[in-house]
């Protein structure tokens, strides 16, 4: 009898059998599956904490998050099975990764179908109806400009003024601990247009040492007077976009509302000056991913972190919520109007004939009206983008939209025209506001120097952008504009009472300076109908410009005279002066 032969060779961890081709699982297959799932769970928790996707079928970020989990599981499976080191184990790794691969395919299919059913190609009429735009009468519906409530500064100037106000933190005992955030939100506060600016920690170390007490204050900048004030917050702001980990207000709100879609949060204060973060709640109203619109808001107390949800109807009607000014972001309103303007005649009309198609101009601004904030921007035809066909005003709290028919120059042309009037100073013009000056549509701009500080104002006629003027003060600019219109047979009347008291002069946010020296050169020019003297002193390598209307004694000075100028800046090759004293 032959002896029994036993083969002791292990095959359980050798990959596929070379004779049969059968995939043999590695040892401890079940344990490795559990390890892969645990690793994926840990990866998913970390990814969710920082990515913060909404668990909502209308969120693209959710599909990306789930896809990332599937990819990670496949990678982990290849590593734990040993397939990366031993190619023979690859068949098992591929087979055991089949389910997550199928899920990735399903996710891609859902996203693809979602984009198709949401496509403007097939749903142009739905996109055109996403906002209700009514045609208004400019003269009848837009109040004549009240210059006591017209904002005269933009974000760039706000940043400079707010930074100066931060120095007052030293009085509160916080030296070099905080800075301002690069976000400036225009709202109405006690019937006045202001920009509110939250603080942020100077760095992560400053956050670690100060987070317990929170941000001590925020900055409020009056958009009319250019006055910046540091507002102390009782109890400190414990939740903000500048905080980290669970104190970050976006993460805090996401954990409380894991399925909601949100727009970028905005910072506002109520009528008592208490700070809040406003999260507009979004919905995709066309197909799966198209037609985003606001359905409500989450109001988060920046001190306590308490969150309250309100519908869009409650925000529009409840008296206690009227302090909220910004529910619809300017970007969203621009997007919705462009859908309305482009697709009224269908998708192919917007591409081919482009009949009755419109879009907004390059930028936008804000206008305070009736204790609300309105987004303003010009509207131009897609077939002729060199001029405007009108402009729109949209309420950022209610989404009430009015289109006003008007032909004239685009805002960019008005800015160029204003800058041309003061080209010797190299000032830049802010994005224009459209004002009603006794029935005459007029662009109003601030003129800023290289430091973004306001040095003057400009007013340009919309219909004839060659008709315009400037002034170092608001009252001077208005008077000059009235005269220019009168010279061209356009009669207007503007009440300037109280302007100086409410708004001050351009550049009043900074200290007045003086320049003294002996005159070495005198030159003259006529600029916008005004006689201007350019004088060089032996004490500086620049020229000082003085209007004869501002200092009549300028006509009496000669080379060799010692004089003193009153100025607002000592930088530049040509420095405007507002007064002259002869020694």
**Same domain membership, residue 417 and residue 397:** no
Q: Are the C-beta atoms of 186 and 537 separated by less than 8 Å? A: no
Cβ count within 10 A of residue 434: 25
If you ran DSSP here, which 8-state letter would residue 320 be given?
Answer: G
Mean pLDDT calculated for residue range 125-139: 95
- What is the spatial distance between Cα 166 and Cα 220, in angstroms, rounded to a whole number? 11
Token pair 């059968």: residue = 22
Confidence tier at 24 by pLDDT (50, 70, 90): low
Confidence tier at 511 by pLDDT (50, 70, 90): low
Q: Give the model's pLDDT for residue 497.
A: 63
234 assigned to some structural domain: yes
Q: Are the C-beta atoms of 268 and 325 separated by less than 8 Å? A: yes
Contacts within 8 Å (CB) and 24+ apart, 162-168? 162/195, 162/197, 162/219, 162/221, 162/228, 164/228, 164/509, 165/219, 165/221, 165/228, 165/229, 165/230, 166/199, 166/219, 166/230, 168/230
- List Cβ neighbours of 278 (8 Å cut-off, separation of 6 or more): 265, 266, 267, 268, 297, 298, 299, 300, 324, 326, 327
Residues forming a β-bridge with 309:
298
Cβ count within 10 A of residue 566: 17
- What is the spatial distance between Cα 485 and Cα 420, in angstroms, rounded to a whole number? 18
- What is the spatial distance between Cα 167 and Cα 189, in angstroms, rounded to a whole number? 23
Calculate ∠ Cα 487-488-489, nearest 5°.
95
| Average pLDDT of the chain, as a whole number | 89
Please give the model's pTM, rounded to 2 decimal places.
0.84
Residue 60 has pLDDT above 60, yes or no: yes
User: E strands within 302-371?
Assistant: 307-311, 358-360, 365-369
Token pair 């668990």: residue = 55
**Same domain membership, residue 357 and residue 433:** no
Q: Give the model's pLDDT for residue 167.
A: 80
Parent domain of 538: 513-582
Q: Which residues of 133-147 are buried (b: 16+ CB within 10 A; e: fewer)?
A: beebebeeebebbeb
Q: Give the model's pLDDT for residue 528.
A: 62
Confidence tier at 417 by pLDDT (50, 70, 90): very high
- What is the spatial distance between Cα 439 and Cα 337, in angstroms, rounded to a whole number? 26
Confidence tier at 384 by pLDDT (50, 70, 90): low
130 assigned to some structural domain: no
Chain-centroid distance of CA 6 in Å reads 78
Confidence tier at 1 by pLDDT (50, 70, 90): very low
Domain end call among 327, 355, 372:
327
- Bigger pLDDT: 75 vs 143: 75
**Same domain membership, residue 354 and residue 290:** no
Q: Give the model's pLDDT for residue 315.
A: 95
Confidence tier at 83 by pLDDT (50, 70, 90): confident
Q: Are the C-beta atoms of 208 and 239 separated by less than 8 Å? A: no
Structure tokens at 383: 């077939």
**Same domain membership, residue 427 and residue 386:** no
CA nearest neighbour of 74 among 65, 86, 83: 83
CATH assignment of the domain containing 561:
2.40.50.140
- Pairing, β 192-201 against β 387-395: unpaired
Q: Give the model's pLDDT for residue 394.
A: 97
Phi, psi of 160 (to 5 degrees): -65, -45
438 assigned to some structural domain: yes
Confidence tier at 11 by pLDDT (50, 70, 90): very low
Confidence tier at 19 by pLDDT (50, 70, 90): very low
Q: Give the model's pLDDT for residue 371.
A: 84
**Same domain membership, residue 346 and residue 401:** yes
- Bigger pLDDT: 162 vs 498: 162
**Same domain membership, residue 381 and residue 432:** no
Q: Give the model's pLDDT for residue 552.
A: 78
Cβ count within 10 A of residue 319: 6
Q: Are the C-beta atoms of 197 and 171 separated by less than 8 Å? A: no
- What is the spatial distance between Cα 514 and Cα 434, in angstroms, rounded to a whole number? 36
Confidence tier at 191 by pLDDT (50, 70, 90): confident
Confidence tier at 23 by pLDDT (50, 70, 90): low
Q: Are the C-beta atoms of 450 and 571 separated by less than 8 Å? A: yes
Concatenate the DSSP letters of all residues of 152-170 into one string. ---HHHHHHHHHHHHGGGG
Q: Give the model's pLDDT for residue 26.
A: 65
Structure tokens at 333: 């309103």
Q: Give the model's pLDDT for residue 385.
A: 73
Chain-centroid distance of CA 333 in Å reads 12
Confidence tier at 6 by pLDDT (50, 70, 90): very low
**Same domain membership, residue 520 and residue 426:** no
Q: Give percent of the chain above pLDDT 90.
A: 65
54 assigned to some structural domain: yes
If you ran DSSP here, which 8-state letter would residue 59 be given?
Answer: -
Q: Give the model's pLDDT for residue 510.
A: 46
Residue 319 has pLDDT above 80, yes or no: yes
**Same domain membership, residue 180 and residue 289:** yes
- List Cβ neighbours of 303 (8 Å cut-off, separation of 6 or more): 214, 233, 234, 235, 236, 237, 238, 239, 274, 275
CA nearest neighbour of 376 among 319, 431, 307: 431
Number of domains in the chain: 5
Domain end call among 409, 429, 455:
409
- List Cβ neighbours of 365 (8 Å cut-off, separation of 6 or more): 154, 375, 376, 377, 431, 432, 433
Token pair 């916080």: residue = 174
Residue 173 has pLDDT above 80, yes or no: no
Q: Give the model's pLDDT for residue 502.
A: 43
Residues forming a β-bridge with 535:
522, 544
Chain-centroid distance of CA 264 in Å reads 10
How many helices (H) and strands (E) would you count in the chain?
Answer: 15, 26
Residue 91 has pLDDT above 50, yes or no: yes
Residue 9 has pLDDT above 60, yes or no: no
Structure tokens at 156: 């760039």
172 assigned to some structural domain: yes
Domain end call among 101, 117, 133:
117
**Same domain membership, residue 242 and residue 358:** no
**How far apart, in Å, do the first and last CA atoms of the chain sit?**
136
**Same domain membership, residue 261 and residue 171:** yes
Token pair 């994926």: residue = 40
Lowest mean pLDDT among 85-94, 196-205, 452-461: 85-94
Residue 227 has pLDDT above 50, yes or no: yes
Digit-coded pLDDT (tens) for 455-500: 899 999 998 888 999 998 888 899 999 999 999 999 998 876 656 5
144 assigned to some structural domain: no
492 assigned to some structural domain: yes
Residue 150 has pLDDT above 60, yes or no: yes
- List Cβ neighbours of 167 (8 Å cut-off, separation of 6 or more): none
Q: Give the model's pLDDT for residue 245.
A: 95
Lowest mean pLDDT among 23-32, 69-78, 97-106, 259-268: 23-32
CA nearest neighbour of 415 among 459, 358, 364: 459
Q: Which residues of 77-112 are buried (b: 16+ CB within 10 A; e: fewer)?
A: bbbbbbbeeeeebbbbbbebbeebeeebeebeeebe
**Same domain membership, residue 278 and residue 168:** yes
Digit-coded pLDDT (tens) for 344-383: 999 999 999 999 999 999 899 998 888 899 999 999 998 8
**Same domain membership, residue 311 and residue 210:** yes
459 assigned to some structural domain: yes
């Amino acid at each position: 009898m032959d002896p029994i032969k036993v083969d002791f060779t292990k095959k359980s961890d050798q990959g596929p059998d070379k004779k049969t081709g059968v995939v043999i699982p590695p040892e401890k297959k079940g344990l490795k599956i559990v390890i892969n799932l645990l690793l994926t769970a840990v990866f998913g928790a970390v990814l969710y904490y920082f990515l913060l996707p909404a668990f909502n079928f209308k969120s693209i970020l959710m599909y990306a998050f789930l896809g990332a989990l599937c990819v990670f599981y496949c990678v982990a499976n290849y590593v734990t099975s040993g397939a990366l080191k031993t190619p023979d184990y690859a068949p098992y790794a591929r087979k055991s990764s089949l389910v997550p691969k199928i899920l990735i395919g399903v996710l891609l299919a859902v996203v693809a179908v979602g984009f198709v059913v949401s496509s403007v190609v097939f749903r142009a009429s739905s996109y055109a109806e996403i906002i209700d735009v009514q045609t208004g009468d400019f003269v009848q519906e837009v109040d004549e400009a009240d210059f006591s409530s017209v904002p005269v500064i933009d974000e760039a100037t706000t940043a400079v003024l707010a930074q100066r106000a931060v120095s007052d933190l030293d009085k509160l005992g916080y030296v070099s601990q905080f800075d301002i955030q690069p976000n400036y939100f225009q709202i109405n506060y006690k019937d006045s247009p202001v920009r509110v600016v939250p603080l942020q920690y100077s760095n992560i170390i400053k956050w670690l040492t100060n987070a317990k007490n929170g941000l001590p204050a925020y900055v409020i900048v009056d958009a009319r007077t250019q006055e910046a004030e540091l507002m102390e917050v009782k109890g400190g702001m414990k939740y903000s976009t500048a905080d980290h980990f669970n104190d970050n207000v976006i993460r805090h709100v996401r954990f409380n509302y894991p399925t909601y879609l949100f727009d970028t949060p905005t910072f506002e204060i109520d009528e008592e000056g208490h700070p809040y973060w406003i999260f507009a709640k979004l919905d995709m109203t066309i197909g799966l991913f198209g037609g985003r619109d606001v359905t409500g808001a989450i109001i988060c107390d920046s001190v306590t972190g308490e969150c309250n949800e309100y519908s869009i109807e409650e925000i529009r009607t409840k008296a206690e919520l009227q302090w909220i000014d910004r529910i619809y972001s300017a970007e969203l309103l621009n997007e919705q109007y462009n859908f309305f303007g482009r697709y009224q005649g269908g998708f192919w009309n917007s591409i081919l004939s482009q009949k009755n198609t419109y879009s907004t101009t390059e930028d936008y601004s804000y206008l305070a009206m009736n204790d609300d904030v309105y987004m303003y921007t010009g509207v131009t035809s897609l077939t002729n983008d060199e001029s405007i066909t009108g402009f729109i005003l949209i309420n950022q709290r209610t989404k009430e939209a009015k289109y006003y028919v008007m032909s004239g120059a685009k805002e960019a042309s008005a800015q160029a025209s204003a800058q041309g009037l003061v080209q010797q100073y190299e000032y830049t013009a802010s994005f224009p506001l459209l004002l009603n000056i006794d029935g005459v549509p007029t662009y109003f701009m601030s003129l800023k120097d290289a430091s973004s500080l306001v040095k003057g104002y400009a007013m340009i006629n919309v219909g004839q952008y060659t008709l315009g003027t400037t002034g170092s003060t608001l009252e001077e600019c208005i008077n000059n504009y009235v005269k220019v219109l009168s010279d061209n047979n356009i009669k207007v009347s503007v009440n300037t009472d109280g302007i100086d008291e409410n708004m001050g002069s351009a550049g009043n946010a900074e200290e007045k300076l003086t320049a003294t020296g002996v005159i070495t050169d005198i030159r003259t020019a006529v600029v916008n109908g005004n006689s201007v003297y350019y004088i060089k002193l032996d004490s500086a390598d620049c020229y000082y410009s003085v209007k004869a209307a501002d200092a009549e004694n300028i006509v009496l000075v000669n080379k060799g005279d010692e004089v003193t100028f009153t100025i607002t800046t000592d930088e530049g090759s040509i420095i405007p002066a507002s007064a002259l004293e002869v020694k």
